[in-house]
A and B are shown apart, each in its own frame.
Chain A
Amino acid sequence: MIDYSRVQSAQLAMQNAAYLLALKELLFQLADDDFILAYRGSEWLGLAPHIEEDVAFSSIAQDTMGHAVILYEMLEELGAGKADDLAQLRNPEDFRNAILVERRNGAGEYLENPHYDWAYAIARNYSYGLFKQIRLESLHNSSYLPLAQVSRKMLTELNYHLFHWQVWIRHLAESTEEARRRLEAALEKVWDDIGDLFSLGPLAAHMVNFGLIAGEELLLQRWKEKGKEVFHSIGLEWPGDPRVPQQNGRAGEHTDDLVQALATLSEVYRLDPTAKW
């Protein structure tokens, strides 16, 4: 009899169809969130407001994409398909990332007139980072032990990212009026999308029952507690309860921004997915 509170390997997870389904669904949420946000980060490369920051931001994007790779490889191990295919050949409706991470960096394209919004980059990365910290902490107790294990390692890197974004958010909040106004506007924009970050999608109940992750309400509550504390400490007004975007990314509903992102990031691979690149 398999103990589903402590699943030690992919082989064991694959012996229970319901468990496997819930686990894969969760892994897609985790992997797609990191992958798409890292992609948005990679578009910023060479365009950040300060040369030294450009370099630091790129490391964060690389770390984040590195986390996605580990998660796609876990999915590969669970029989979901090749990691490179999972990242680049699925249709937009098969992606489980939250709407927040797929939004464009601002007007324009990375190749042409990138009128990117640094305040939005800070607000989004910080809010997501805080969420990811709480999610990773919850995953420390996941019934899928390979995930619990890797969540600890990821948390170390994530905490460094969060430190970085926290320095930025505080600096913007405490500097010029313009910076503060831009930051507040960006936070409003982020808040419009925060809702589905906490959604675990249609299989939420299974994920929780199988002990894969804590429930949506609990994650949201912890996020609000931590966020309010930080906002208070830097004199930022708490923008209120997070709002839910029109689409629910966890259910495969997405904006055109994701369609554009996927077309770009798979452009070369799709020339010939059977070739070696």
Chain B
Amino acid sequence: MNTKVAESNQDEKRAQFQARIERGEKIEADDWMPDDYRNQLIKLIAMHAVSEIMGALPEKEWVPKAPTLRRKLAIMAKVQDEVGHGQLLLRVVEDLLAPLGKTREDLFEDLFTGRLKFHNVFHMKAPTWADAGVIGWLVDGAAIITQTMSLDSSYAPYARALYRICAEEKFHAQHGESIVLELAEGTPAQRQLLQDAVNRWWPALLMFFGPPDDGTISSNQQLNMQYKIRTQTNEELRQAFFDKYVPRIFHLGLTLPDKTIRYDEAEGKWHYQQPDWEEFKQIVRGNGPRSAQRLQLRKVSYEEAKWVRDALLAKQCVAG
């Protein structure tokens, strides 16, 4: 076969694939897919997966310290779910990586070397119990908004994982709300803990959705839309977050560190103060306040357990 024929075959396959996407069909792991579709999915889902794994760590700091027996159990279950979400997403991305000869081990290597990034929020400090509440309420709230949007993803294995995840995220948000309400209804000292935590997390929450698009759409975003992997813009998601949470924050008698935030009825959108996007870049590059320490936790435990994985590999299917 000469190269011209091969190329035109390739073009035809791509066109057929795009037609499937446009018909609203779902793609499975064993379907033919263009390389850029696969790469785009890998980039998105790998980041999502390690964000769940790394996202367990800030709240985990409060797992042994949770203030009552019930809260100890609830936060353990919640953080366990986060690790479980990491597991689901890792499996999805591992299946995408398999044809490229890559495995879970490679993903962890990429995480440790900084090639694979995780969400900005999980680089931040969580110095008080109220932070655990705010993470459950607002960080999980933000996550529900982005994940719900992706339920319609053209890649069926990702959508299936997200259905499981979203069902559990509802419990997470309630878990967070319950902690937050207890503090809000509590002593002045408890309310102060909560207010401080909201102030601390606000810029990170704005950053969570990514920079606004300035009217131009990045090639990344364009590809996601073309392939129906992700269909809403960062700003649309951030606005949806404001719609849901800003009123509730005010209902609790809390304030926001942004005095300018207001809803414009005529425009139907929120005006707010932009966070420092330069700082955002620094954080996701691994220069956040807790980036190094949390990566170190993951790395130490990973290295400490190498002998365990080797031992299990030696038992590969012996008992099978």
| Contact present for B65 and A116 (CB under 8 Å) | no
- Asked if B214 is an interface residue, CB under 8 A from chain A, the answer is no
Taking the nearest CB of chain A, how far is it from the CB of B105, in angstroms?
11
- Asked if B79 is an interface residue, CB under 8 A from chain A, the answer is yes
Residues of B within 8 A of A42 (CB): 63-64, 72, 76
Complex partner residue of B308 from A50, A61, A276, CB under 8 angstroms: A50
Tell me what chain A mostly uses at the interface: helix, strand, loop, or mixed: helix
- Asked if B297 is an interface residue, CB under 8 A from chain A, the answer is yes
Cβ contacts B140-182/A at 8 Å (1 or 0 each)? 0000000000000000000000000000000000000000001
| Contact present for A172 and B311 (CB under 8 Å) | yes
Taking the nearest CB of chain A, how far is it from the CB of B316, in angstroms?
10
Question: B3-11, B54-62, B258-266: which one contacts chain A?
Answer: B54-62
- Asked if A175 is an interface residue, CB under 8 A from chain B, the answer is yes
* Bound-complex Cα distance A39 to B72 (A): 9
- Asked if A32 is an interface residue, CB under 8 A from chain B, the answer is no
- Asked if A87 is an interface residue, CB under 8 A from chain B, the answer is yes
Residues of B within 8 A of A1 (CB): none
Taking the nearest CB of chain A, how far is it from the CB of B112, in angstroms?
15
Q: Give residues of chain A (230-262) contacting chain B, Cβ–Cβ below 8 Å.
A: none
Taking the nearest CB of chain B, how far is it from the CB of A268, in angstroms?
4
Residues of B within 8 A of A50 (CB): 305, 308-309, 312
Q: Give residues of chain B (59-79) contacting chain A, Cβ–Cβ below 8 Å.
A: 60-73, 76-77, 79
Residues of A within 8 A of B314 (CB): 175-176, 179
- Asked if B189 is an interface residue, CB under 8 A from chain A, the answer is yes
Residues of B within 8 A of A117 (CB): 304
Complex partner residue of A55 from B66, B87, B293, B296, CB under 8 angstroms: B87
| Contact present for B63 and A269 (CB under 8 Å) | no
Tell me what chain B mostly uses at the interface: helix, strand, loop, or mixed: helix
Taking the nearest CB of chain A, how far is it from the CB of B266, in angstroms?
43
State how many residues of chain B have any CB contact under 8 Å with chain A: 52
| Contact present for A272 and B190 (CB under 8 Å) | yes
Contacts A51-B90, A55-B83; A66 near B73 (Cβ below 8 A):
yes
Residue from A39, A45, A114 having most chain B Cβ neighbours under 10 A: A45
| Contact present for A46 and B310 (CB under 8 Å) | no
Residues of A within 8 A of B70 (CB): 69
Residues of A within 8 A of B305 (CB): 48-50, 118
- Asked if A115 is an interface residue, CB under 8 A from chain B, the answer is yes
* Bound-complex Cα distance A144 to B133 (A): 40
Taking the nearest CB of chain B, how far is it from the CB of A23, in angstroms?
21
- Asked if B315 is an interface residue, CB under 8 A from chain A, the answer is yes
Residues of A within 8 A of B80 (CB): 45, 54-55, 58-59, 62
With both beta carbons as reference points, the residue of chain B lying nearest to A273 in the complex is identified as: B67
Residues of A within 8 A of B67 (CB): 88, 268-269, 271, 277
Complex partner residue of A179 from B79, B87, B187, B308, CB under 8 angstroms: B308
Instruction: Give me 13 other A-B pairs in contact (C-beta within 8 A), A50-B312, A113-B297, A265-B72 excluded.
Output: A46-B83, A49-B308, A49-B309, A50-B308, A83-B69, A84-B68, A114-B300, A116-B301, A174-B318, A179-B308, A268-B66, A276-B186, A277-B68
- 10 smallest CB-CB distances across A and B, nearest first, come from A49-B305, A179-B311, A277-B67, A175-B311, A47-B301, A49-B308, A58-B80, A268-B67, A269-B67, A175-B314
Which A residues form the contact surface with B (CB < 8 A)? 39, 42-43, 45-52, 54-55, 58-59, 61-62, 65-66, 68-69, 72, 83-84, 87-88, 108, 110-118, 171-172, 174-176, 178-179, 182, 264-265, 267-269, 271-272, 275-277
A to B CB contacts below 8 Å, 16 in the list: A45-B76, A46-B297, A48-B305, A49-B308, A51-B86, A58-B76, A62-B80, A65-B72, A69-B69, A87-B69, A108-B300, A111-B61, A112-B293, A114-B300, A118-B304, A264-B65
